[in-house]
Copies of this chain bind each other. A is one copy, B any other.
Amino acid sequence: MISIGLLGAGRIGQIHGRNIAASPRARLAAIADPMPEGAKTLSAATGAPVRTPDEILADKDIEAILIGTPTDTHADFIDRAAKAGKAVFCEKPVDLSSARIRKTLERVNKAGIPLMIGFNRRFDPNFAALQKRLADGVAGDVELVTILSRDPGPPPVSYIERSGGLFRDMMIHDFDMARFLLGEDAVEVFALGSALIDPAIGKAGDVDTAAVVLKTASGKICQISNSRRATYGYDQRIEVHGSKGLLSAGNVHETTVQFAGAKGISADPVQNFFLERYAGAYKAEIEAFIDTIVKGRKPKPDGVDGLKAQLMADAATKSRETGKPVKIG
């Protein structure tokens, strides 16, 4: 049984804390959050005690920590966990600054601790199955990847202002997915964006509708599109066009119920909420993290994956601002 301490008992921390507690191979050792309410709720549900981050980091019986705190605290907590020799699972992103990420990765490397980044979509049963078949050669060589990723509704403008912008806050998941599927790094990115949904998002300097096209060194091409508002739910689809055929993974519907009436055929909406859509993914990624400790597996996605997705997001942001394609080093 691995003892894991949880830093951050907000929306995502609640999920991770419960999944740790429910895993037969792990124990939720302690919960820390400056907001007492979330920590208390999770403590009641799991039996894990509420403690301070300092106590958790100092506890020698705690082998690993899961960081689900606000973004601007991630890198510091990773640094401290590295010093303490604890394995780390950190929610994306490590930091909004790639320079800061690089520093932290150096410390992680020196300390030799496993660091896994929470790109949960790699663990979605549908996307994971697609990637496995791709790796098995089912579709042949990858040529053209299409990622459609749309949220049910935009977050508050106050959130957007501190988010780093759509490419770093939302599309970063798709950049990681692109790398996961292309099996290669992007060397060039071009981005277009518009504020079509809410002018206040435009005033805040951000966009709510965006499209990116990117290319790898060997010439593979990937298209990504994002919208902050899909009336029909949380739209998450991928397609990989390869030399042998097309692999695709579609949305998950609420139920399989359909109604055929005088106005046509209607099916249930797609699952609307990311915590529902990716419930299986969150469970699977915790088990993968436990594997890095129990079985000594290399963490995947790791800190370098986190950095590379961030560099793509930076490049897309710059491309959108300058109107020019941006090379990635």
Instruction: Verify A267–B269 contact, CB threshold 8 A.
Output: no
Which B residues touch A268, using CB under 8 A?
129, 264-265
Instruction: Verify A227–B255 contact, CB threshold 8 A.
Output: no
Q: What number of copies of this chain does the assembly contain?
A: 4
Question: Is A232 part of the contact surface with B, judged by Cβ < 8 Å?
Answer: yes
Question: Is A111 part of the contact surface with B, judged by Cβ < 8 Å?
Answer: no
Chain A, 189-213, contact with B by CB distance < 8 Å: what is the 0/1 string? 0101111110000000000011111
Which of B24, B194, B264, B323 touches A267 (beta carbons < 8 Å)? B264
Which of B144, B244, B259 touches A247 (beta carbons < 8 Å)? B259
Instruction: Verify B220–A246 contact, CB threshold 8 A.
Output: no
How extensive is the interface on chain A, given as a class? 35 or more
Q: A227-B241, A264-B268 are in contact. List 13 more A-B contacts (CB 8 A).
A: A126-B256, A129-B255, A130-B257, A150-B241, A230-B245, A231-B261, A250-B258, A251-B256, A262-B269, A264-B266, A265-B266, A265-B269, A325-B325
Which B residues touch A246, using CB under 8 A?
230-232, 235, 259-261
CB distance from A4 to the nearest CB of B (A): 20
Chain A, 141-161, contact with B by CB distance < 8 Å: what is the 0/1 string? 101101010100000000000
A202: nearest chain-B partner, CB-CB: B219
Binding site for B on A (CB under 8 A): 24, 45, 125-126, 129-130, 133, 138-139, 141, 143-144, 146, 148, 150, 188, 190, 192-197, 209-215, 219-223, 225, 227, 229-233, 235, 239, 241, 243-270, 323-325
Instruction: Verify A325–B223 contact, CB threshold 8 A.
Output: no
Instruction: Verify A196–B141 contact, CB threshold 8 A.
Output: yes
A262: nearest chain-B partner, CB-CB: B231
Which B residues touch A250, using CB under 8 A?
256, 258
Which B residues touch A215, using CB under 8 A?
192, 194
Which B residues touch A325, using CB under 8 A?
190, 323-325
Which of B193, B225, B247 touches A223 (beta carbons < 8 Å)? B225
Instruction: Verify B143–A197 contact, CB threshold 8 A.
Output: yes
Which of B248, B260, B263 touches A258 (beta carbons < 8 Å)? B248
Instruction: Verify A260–B244 contact, CB threshold 8 A.
Output: no
Instruction: Verify A263–B266 contact, CB threshold 8 A.
Output: yes
Which B residues touch A241, using CB under 8 A?
150, 225, 227, 230
Q: Give Cα distance in the complex from A247 to B232, angstroms.
A: 11
Given A148-B146, A230-B241, also A265-B267 (CB < 8 A): yes
18 contacts between A and B (CB under 8 A): A130-B255, A144-B209, A150-B241, A192-B221, A194-B215, A213-B213, A230-B241, A231-B246, A232-B264, A245-B260, A245-B262, A247-B259, A253-B265, A264-B266, A265-B266, A265-B268, A266-B267, A267-B267
CB distance from A215 to the nearest CB of B (A): 5
